[in-house]
Every structure is written in C-alpha cells, then in structure tokens.
Structure 1
Amino acid sequence: MRVPVTDSHTHLDMQSGTVEAALAAAAAVGVTRVVQVGCDLAGSRWAAETAAAHESVWATVALHPNEAPRIVLGDPDGWSRQGARVPGGDAALDAALDEIDALAALPQVRGVGETGLDHFRTGPEGRAAQERSFRRHIAIAKRHGKTLVIHDRDAHEDVLRVLADEGAPERVVFHCFSGDAAMARTCAENGYFLSFAGNVTFKNAQPLRDALAVAPLDLLLVETDAPFLTPVPYRGRPGGPYLIPLTLRAMAQVKGVPEDTMAEAVAANTDRAFGAG
C-alpha cells in the first residue's frame, strides 16, 4: 500500500514465528503499526511487555468476555493460560480485573479490550459474570482515559444497553464489527468506531458489506484479528498483519473510493481512536 496503515486488532501471541518477523512482513506491505490485544491476564501482560519493547506495537489489555465466566467458575480452559484450577468466584474475578486496571495505566497500553459480551459461546449461566466484567472494563477505560475495544458476538442490544447504562468512554471501537446496517447506523450516531476484519471478504458476508456501505468513512478501522478471519483468497489459513491490504482493498471497493482514500481515512481514524504518536 502507498499509504501506511495500522492493523487495529491482532494477536501476535497466537501466531507462529517471531514478533520481529511478523512486524517486518507487515511493514513490507505498508502496515507500519499493530495493536496487540490481550484476552486474559497472561496475554495482557505479554501485550504490555511487547508494546514496551517495540515502537510499532500498541497494546490493549482485558479479560475476554468468555474469560470472565471461566474465572468465576474456576475453569482454566479456553482462553485462560493459568494452567491450574483457580478458586473462582467473584473475588477471583475482582482480583483479575484489579491487575487489568494496573496494566491499563501503562503508557504503551492504548486501550482496554477486548471486552464486551458474547452470547454465542457463553450460555445463560455465565452472562451475569460477563456483564459484570464488561461494566468494570468500561470504568477502567474511563478512569485511565483509554479506548474501549468491544467484542460483540450475538449480543448487539445488550452491549448497547450496558454502554448506555454506564456511559461510554470518549473513544469506543467495535472490533470485528458484526452487526447489520441498522447496527452500523446506531454505532455511527454514537460516534463509535467500526473496525472491519477479513470476514468482510467472505462470499456469505453481504450483510456485513451492507453495514460497511452505510458506515461513515471517518469512523472506519481495519484489522486482521489474526490468526483468525483470514481474508479471501487465503481463508482457512492462519492470518497475520501482512494481509491487511486485502481487507482494506475490499473495504474500498464496497465504499466506492480509491484504495489510497480508504487508507488515508483509516490511518487518520486509527490515530483518533488510539492516539497519534
């Protein structure tokens, strides 16, 4: 790409190879910065450490929505890397959130997330813990003046409800936006950023492209969510930040603008969303 952009959401710790190799491959195609996203305590610590060590990496820290119920239930499976059963309960969740709060204060940490609600993988028994965690993350983001990065899966109405209840932080990013055109309009009315990933290139993703079509250009971000959601024609393989150009070009086609125009908008939006410099 002729205009440098940022991968606004990636998981380098879940990708093969070294951080240095991933950053070099990304830079070679014009992706000059990545936002490394934490999903649990170990991953959030790693994100903060990696961002401190690499100028082209920014960090976000959080407990993933599916992590909070596991902590409360004392279940180390899934996202958790603690390796042993923990006592569980609200006290365990509070302790984990206290550490996220401390990490959020670090200067290289630009956001709090990914947090939010996931009604696809978490059943009714875990939703109270999930919502409690989400509300606490909102407070952490507001206290430290950091961007709130939202994971919203099959929970659009509840995510918007909690944001309205708590009062959204100044900057909110809907990571891997998954809503329809109506949801996109609602987010835009609230000034929330919409970040699109490689799934916008999928054949069956017309509702997502319809949402992109109505989303304002000045609220769009681009991401990989790598190693997940790898864009066509590499769908099914592990992704990486170097594949951002494929998604950005697809976004430009949907919006009916030149690639450089899309890249310039995304670059400016990312600086507004996470802070320039």
Structure 2
Amino acid sequence: MNARKSKQRIEWLLVACIFVLIYLFIVVYSDVFGIDRPSLSPSFINLPIPVVVALFFGLYLGRSDPLQYSASKNKTHKFFRDQFPSKYLLRRCDECVETDSTCNNYLSENSYDYIRIWFDEIFHGVIQKQKPGSVEDTFRKGYTCKLMYYSSKAILWTLIASVALLCFHYVFPVLRGLPSPSPDLMHLAFPILLALALFLVLLLNRASGKQPTGCWKAWQQVNGMHQSWLKNNEAELVRLICLRNGGQLIYRHK
C-alpha cells in the first residue's frame, strides 16, 4: 500500500466515522427540532445531511492535515511532528562546528532542504532500497495516528453539540420559568456513550513524549528506527549533505 492509497483509505474511514456520528445524532435528537424520530434505517430525513457533512469535513481534514502541517503548539501536534527523522538532520547541523555562514550545505529549518533530503534521498532512496517494507509501514502507522486523532475530534465535537442541545432542550425552559420536557433515555444515553468512547480512544491511544500508547507508540517506534539508521550511517549523511553541490566541509561535532 503506497502513500496515496494509505491517505485515501484514511480519508474514507474518517468520512465513515463522521457519517455514523452525525447519522446517530440526527436519529436521537430529531424530536428536539419537532420532527418525528426516524428509525435507524436510511430515510430522506436522516441520510442526506450526514452524507454531506461527513464528506465535507472528512475530506477537508484528510487533505488539509492540520496534525502534520498546522503551526499549532497542541501537544499532540507537537508529538507527531517531533518524531520526524528529518529533525535529526537539523540537530546534526546545529551540533556541527560549521555554521550557515561557513558551510554552503548547512541545513536550516527555513530552507526545508532537510525535509527534501530526508524524504526524497534517504527515505525514498537509500532506506527504500534497503528496507522497502519499512516505507509502507511508516506511512501506515502515520496515517493510523491521523485517523485516531481526527476521529477523536469528531467524537468530541459531537459530544459538545449533544450537551449543548440537551442544555437548550431541558435547562433553558427551566431558566425561563417553563416546565422542562420529560427526560428521554436516548437523549441522555447518547452523550454518555460518546464520552465513554472518547475516553477509551484517548486512553488506548495517548500521545505523550515519555509514555505514548497505541498508535502513537507505534509511530514513535518506527521513526525511532529511522533515526537510529541515520545515527549509524554517518558516512551516508556526509555524502548526501556535507559533500553535495561540490562541498568539501564534513561534519565535526562541537
């Protein structure tokens, strides 16, 4: 499974997740809006809206990919990006006695050369030739993290919408001195189930620098192997970085 297929698979799984959440939300709370509660079977009422919302948000999140590209300081975003092996190339140049003023091949974060060298020449070059399966494995684990992250966000947003709607339906009338509607079991059970699902997802897939779990641990491990490869193949890094474009200065630790 190549990168494009992995990405498409995750996008459609995310679409399916959002569809199910919106579909159930409409089924459970339709009576709040004065519509007779439909059954779980697809109908004109409970099918078009979930399809449109799921396609829009699922494909938008999958293609814009804020987990990877956002400048947010969110700890999950930071954890995901901190595992990139390309960051090792930056640290390597930063630890070298040479600087951007003395070395034409010095890698800086603003140039993005470190990303190109890692992705094109090392990851899809040397490593793919030596360990072709590791490339596919890396993409699979990375996109699994994205699926779990965006799915948990979708559950959270649905939970917030459910709680807000419950407050509007049951609490707001009381504040206005009106009788509150009789509690509906489905109204109350749905957010509880969402909260439980969110708790389990976050518990089993926790992004943490010291003790990640689930997909985040797998992401850390696979990139840890790539970083180990970089550390153990200094001669290859000298060839690809230090000596490129006719350079003659080689890496020397401060």
Q: Does TM-score exceed 0.5, indicating one fold?
A: no
Q: Which has the higher strand share?
A: 1
RCO higher in structure (CA 8 A, sep ≥6): 2
Q: Which has the higher helix share?
A: 2
TM-score, with length taken from structure 1: 0.23
Q: Which has the larger radius of gyration?
A: 2
TM-score, with length taken from structure 2: 0.24
